[in-house]
Amino acid sequence: MGVERYTQGLTTWEAHNVLELANTFHRSLNRLTNAEQTATKTIIFDYMSDPSRPGLSLHRVDKAREKGFWTIRVNRDLRIVVYKQSQKSVFCYVAHHDDAYSWAQRRRFEIHPVTGAAQIIELVEVVREEIRTVARTPARRGILAGEERDYLLSLGVPATYLELLLQVDEDGLLELLPRLPEEAQEALMAIATGERPEPRPVLHVDNKADPFTHPDAQRRFWVASDEQMVAQALEKPWAEWLVFLHPSQRAAVERNVNGPARISGSAGTGKSVVAMHRAAHLARQTPSARILLTTFSKILSENLSEGMDTLLGSSSEARQRVEVVHLHAYAHSHASRLKPLAIADDRTIDSVIENARDNLDPGITNSFLRTEWDAIVDYWGIKTFDEYKVIARNGRGMALNATLRRKLWDVFERVQRQLAASELHTFGEVCDRLRQRIEKDETRPFTHVVVDEAQDLGPRELRLIAALAPAGSRPLTFAGDVGQRVFRWPFSWLGAGIDVRGRSHRLKVNYRTTAEIRLFSDHLLPARLTELDGEPEERAAVSLLHGPKPDLKGANDLAGEVKILAEWLIGLRERGFAPGEIAIFARTRRALQERAGPALERAGFGGTWLAPDNIEEGKIILGTLHSAKGLEFRAVAIVACDGSHAPLQAALDLASEPDDKRLTRERELSLLYVGCTRARDQLLITWSGTRSRFLDPVK
């Protein structure tokens, strides 16, 4: 349903009337039916047009401890809970009559006595009674019993919760955390895992300060500046993730740096959200700026484009200045003014290498030549022997003396000549051609470039990105995670001309996956990963969501694995999961077809293959692990996690050298990590025969 449905005919929202949306409102709105959501949105715009309209039936909530809570009548049974203070209205919750009133009676607004941030607090008396019902006996020493009250207050913990927090054990703390403000949840979880978080920022202003402007408050209350922005925020079920930013995310979005900057974080920490907000922030801040928001795949760029429509409004002037396209598509469409350049596929390159090897020593295999082409020659865009004889071959294993490099270069030179004669190009060449044209024309097409999933771009792509915007303030922003690199070989960003040293920002709060899934996934990778630039990336993150542990199930044969998958799917349906919220992934398409096809038929589901323009309603999503990058589903199954598919034996066989095998194994492990971290609530891993050794660290 379009935005115009709600905004048509509205007068301008007066500056002295301020409307804010709380994240609790978004969560409750998403639980309603489509018809109920439509009715609720219509009432919001009626309220914006005239808050005093009699038909809104505003009533103060009876028996509420918080006298600022009122209800707005949506229909016969549906009510919106709104907090009214002077000219400010905060939409807090929407539900059926009894649920809405119960919610309001159990909560109140507070201004934190230390930080000054606005908080919605559940009454501690109610919480204490519920926590007691889950407390274990005999009672154990409180997990926070040794903490100073002033320190806990400095972390944003509500004062009314201090006594209860000092008493609860680990189980009680886990039960209590979801009821606390977000900043308190994160800090207490960090303490429970051995960290010492820094105190929250304090609002150092006079008594007239607006508590909603505190960074912690801005992550849960969003100010509506006009009707169009409200409509865009309400249109998307996942708008909560796009609208409400964690303070560390907001800091990354609004950083003002001279030179390229990098935003890193493990899966689920919101790197894509930060990238979208960064692009939107730059578009709003500089009216004349042109921004490119790009990534490595079409599916991801489609998602980013939808996000920008939500943040800026699909028809807004600012949105028209943000181009969203995956990088190779952009390069391919602009590299030639005459006609599109033909791209050589993998089979063609293999054939050309086979023909070009001539009398080369049989000890140099075709697989070695292909990986040398992919990881060195075409990767870096080497065109002469002088370049090849001095290029560093980090991680390539076999040492090459000058004589052998000369012989290998003769092969690669013949490969390049053959491709040129056939008018075939690699995507690396396409990127170079566009970069060279931009440098020759001395006209930069963009003011800023924001890159998502930057870890899967190579040096030629990075050089192109560097050419797309002029040097200066905030020209380039890269968001990525080295632990999710599955398409590219490691390389030095400095060697590609990109220096982000001193301008890196690490995100440490996981919003997407439960703590149980995150812990399982994190055990697959080392606790610290280091890029060739020498900058280590800590994998530690905090998850505030909780759910069941991942389910690992093996079978003796394929039929047994199909049965496990089918029973899991049936169980999800019984628990109310919609088919579109479920995805099944595997390392190869064939492995997925052999397992998912029979299981879907047995469980009575349909399936649809993952593609930008091929998502059928009411069907379970199917895809390879490579296609899962950047996506999210409530429930994910990863099948065929056996000894021949994880890692894929065929990929290991192509790597002839020990270092090649090591790097291939690392990429295979990252693929499994990517697949696992697509799951928000439920994760199933299955295999038939021998269980993958990748799962050994997780018992």
CATH of the domain at 659: 3.40.50.300
Number of structural domains, the chain? 5
Q: Quick: pLDDT tens for 540-567.
A: 777 767 788 999 999 999 999 999 999 9
Among the listed residues 387, 698, 389, the one whose alpha carbon sits nearest the alpha carbon of residue 519: 698
What band does 227 get if pLDDT is binned at 50, 70 and 90? low
Claim to verify: residue 182 and residue 262 sit in the same structural domain? no
How many CB atoms lie under 10 A from the CB of residue 685?
26
Q: Which residue has the higher pLDDT, 544 or 382?
A: 382
Tell me what pLDDT residue 570 has. 96
| Number of H-type helices and E-type strands within the chain | 29, 26
Q: Identify the H or E element spanning 171.
A: helix 170-176
Share of the chain above pLDDT 70, in %: 86
Token pair for residue 247?
Answer: 């303070």
**Is the CB of residue 270 less than 8 Å from the CB of residue 511?**
yes
C-alpha angle with apex 28: 219 to 158, nearest 5 degrees? 45
| Banded pLDDT at 97 (limits 50, 70, 90) | very high
- pLDDT band of residue 6 (cuts 50, 70, 90) is very low
80 and 128 co-located in one domain = no
Is the pLDDT confidence value at 498 over 70? Answer: yes
Same domain, 459 and 329: yes
- Do 673 and 565 lie in one domain? The reply is yes
Answer whether residue 138 is part of any domain: yes
Confidence (pLDDT) at 62 = 84
Q: Are residues 450 and 415 in the same domain?
A: no
Q: What is the mean pLDDT of the chain?
A: 85
Q: How confident is the model at residue 135 (pLDDT cuts 50, 70, 90)?
A: very low
**Exposure string over 496-520, b if 16+ CB within 10 A, otherwise e:** bebebeebebbbbbbbbbbbbbbeb
List, for residues 176-185, the tens digit of each pLDDT value.
888 899 899 8
Residues 327 and 352 in one domain: no
Give dist(CA 425, CA 536) in Å, integer: 35
- Average pLDDT of span 624-652: 88
Domain boundary among 388, 421, 454: 421
% of the chain beyond a pLDDT of 90: 42
Which residue type is seen at 28? S
pLDDT at 167 over 90: no
pTM: 0.75
Residue 434 lies inside a defined structural domain of this protein: no
If you write DSSP's letter for every residue of 464-500 in order, what string do you get?
HHHHHS-SSBS-EEEEE-GGG--SS----TGGGT---
**What's residue 569's pLDDT?**
96
Please give the average per-residue pLDDT across 484-488, as a whole number.
73
pLDDT at 405 over 60: yes
Residue-wise pLDDT for 231-287, tens only, equals 655 665 544 456 667 777 888 898 888 889 999 888 888 888 899 999 999 999 988
Q: Is residue 515 part of a domain?
A: no
Residues 144 and 105 in one domain: no
Residue type, 260: P
645, 496: one domain: no
Contact 548, 516 (CB under 8 A): yes
Cβ 507 vs Cβ 477: under 8 Å: no
- The rounded distance, in Å, linking the Cα atoms of 304 and 157 is 35
Highest mean pLDDT among 48-62, 208-222, 432-446, 544-558: 432-446
Using the predicted structure, report yes or no on whether residue 13 has a pLDDT greater than 50.
no
In a domain, 167, yes or no: yes
Q: What is the largest CA-CA distance in the chain?
A: 90
The CATH number linked to 91 is 3.30.2310.20
437, part of any domain: no
Bridge partners (DSSP) of residue 96 are 78
**Residue 223 in domain:** no
Distance of alpha carbon 382 from alpha carbon 389, whole angstroms: 10
Residue ranges making up the domain that contains 396: 345-421
Q: Is pLDDT at 11 greater than 70 in this prediction? A: no
Q: Quick one: pLDDT at residue 7? A: 33
Tokens of 424: 């075939």
559/657 same-domain check: yes
Q: Are both 573 and 663 inside the same structural domain?
A: yes
Q: Report helix angle 227-235 to 34-49, nearest 10.
A: 170
> DSSP assignment, residue 537?
E
> Are 598 and 661 members of one domain?
yes
> Are 321 and 289 spatial neighbours (Cβ–Cβ below 8 Å)?
yes
Compute the CA torsion angle 210, 212, 217, 221 (nearest 10 deg).
Answer: 180
Of 302-311, 319-328, 390-399, least confident by mean pLDDT is 390-399
Query: What is the predicted pLDDT for the residue at 134?
Result: 46
The pLDDT assigned to 657 comes to: 64
Average pLDDT of span 613-628? 81
pLDDT score for 121: 92
236 is a domain residue: no
- CA–CA distances in Å: residue 251 to residues 110, 201, 255: 25, 13, 6
**What is the rounded distance in angstroms from the CA atom of residue 448 to the CA atom of residue 427?**
23
Predicted confidence (pLDDT) per residue in 650-666, tens digit: 777 766 666 677 778 88
Please indicate, yes or no, whether residues 325 and 369 belong to a single structural domain of this protein: no
| 664 within domain boundaries | yes
